[in-house]
Amino acid sequence: MSTPLTADELVTVLRAEGLTVVEYKSWRTHNREGHGAWGPVNGVMIHHTVTTGTANSVELCYAGHSELPGPLCHGVIDKAGVVHLVGNGRANHAGLGDDDVLAAVIAETPLPTDNEANTDGNARFYGFEAINLGDGKDPWPDAQLLAIEKVSAAICRAHDWDERSVLGHLEWQPGKVDPRGFGMDWMRGRIADRLDAAAPSTPTAPAPGKPTATKPAPKPVSYEPFPGAAFFRAGRTSPIVTAMGKRLVAEGCGQYAVGPGPAWSEADRKSYAKWQRKLGYSGTAADGIPGATSWAKLHVPNV
């Protein structure tokens, strides 16, 4: 729980993380002041815009529309990975969400299923909209995914948070699906890796009220190396198969009636095929047998 970053501090930490930042119109004073609290802040929320084109997406998030006044977030992340800042302060992006999810974010513990809408998220979360149609087909360029990772890590560094302070809108408010097209557990794995690395060399201003005590360095995240395609065959029993299945379920690709379990099964193959299709593979390239590239992106934890 922290005091929100000032406009200057936000720009500083984002640029220090290596991001290209565009300051749009009068974003520094553009907010929903008078319509609820802003802070203390507890995390970063990721959305998709359901729009195309940078100029119109940024303007929409800045101005809002007849049913929802802007700003609709604090920053817009375009397909090239550029961050367009559109608001500073309370923004209309999170809406009402689950108080149990907020408690987990504050405690930096695994998120429960969101099944209530009883808590004001606009007061508690920085919001970033990534330009994407959210139809499951619009691609997520590497530069855009990297920018989401960097934005999240930059703000987490400033507030001394870990990757569990980052969540998707779909994990906060029942009925929401954004961001669609990548898994938030996968993205949190990327953010954790970045936070484990050395901090940016450019000095950054600490967040107001941030304690001076240093936080112990987080344990390095370690993943199972690819065991080879031949490992995944009928009769194979291994805790690696269980760990893989759990990650597939977390990514929304589970095709299990019961499980997952340690014995390689047709349900495992179908689940992995769905993961391959989610990554953009098709035909024989989405046969359900893990390959080195798709395995690396799944981030199966060491067992």
pLDDT of residue 250: 85
pLDDT of residue 286: 94
> CA 73 to CA 128: how far, in whole Å?
6
Distant-in-sequence, close-in-space partners of 85: CB < 8 Å, separation ≥ 6: 10, 11, 21, 22, 23, 24, 27, 74, 75
Given a contact cutoff of 8 angstroms between Cβ atoms, the answer to whether 189 and 300 are in contact is no
Half-sphere exposure of 195 (CA within 13 A, CB side): 30
Which residue has 């800045």 as its token pair? 62
Average pLDDT over residues 124-146: 96
Reduce the DSSP state of residue 267 to 3 states and report it.
helix
**pTM for this entry:** 0.68
Q: Is residue 208 over pLDDT 70? A: no
Average pLDDT over residues 195-211: 59
Tokens for 164, please give them: 């569990």
Q: How confident is the model at residue 91 (pLDDT cuts 50, 70, 90)?
A: very high
pLDDT of residue 210: 46
pLDDT of residue 160: 95
Domain boundaries, the chain: 7-196, 229-298
Dihedral, 63, 51, 139, 154 alpha carbons, nearest 10: 10
Could you tell me which residue, 91 or 221, shows the higher pLDDT?
A: 91
Q: How confident is the model at residue 197 (pLDDT cuts 50, 70, 90)?
A: confident
- The architecture in CATH of the region 7-196 reads 3-Layer(aba) Sandwich (3.40)
pLDDT of residue 215: 46
> CA 133 to CA 25: how far, in whole Å?
25
Given a contact cutoff of 8 angstroms between Cβ atoms, the answer to whether 97 and 119 are in contact is yes
Q: What is the chain's mean pLDDT, rounded?
A: 91
Dihedral, 143, 19, 195, 102 alpha carbons, nearest 10: -90
Q: Is residue 212 over pLDDT 90? A: no
Average pLDDT over residues 60-82: 96
> CA 223 to CA 299: how far, in whole Å?
6
Q: Is residue 43 over pLDDT 90? A: yes
Angle between helix 266-278 and helix 239-250 axes, rounded to 10 deg = 40
Of 23-32, 155-164, 201-210, 222-231, which gets the smallest average pLDDT? 201-210
Task: Name the amino acid, one letter, at 139.
Answer: P
Average pLDDT over residues 233-253: 91
Given a contact cutoff of 8 angstroms between Cβ atoms, the answer to whether 207 and 158 are in contact is yes
Average pLDDT over residues 251-272: 91
Which residue has 């689940």 as its token pair? 271
Q: Is residue 133 over pLDDT 90? A: yes
Distant-in-sequence, close-in-space partners of 272: CB < 8 Å, separation ≥ 6: 232, 244, 248, 253, 288, 289, 290, 294
Closest CA to 105 of 167, 187, 165: 165
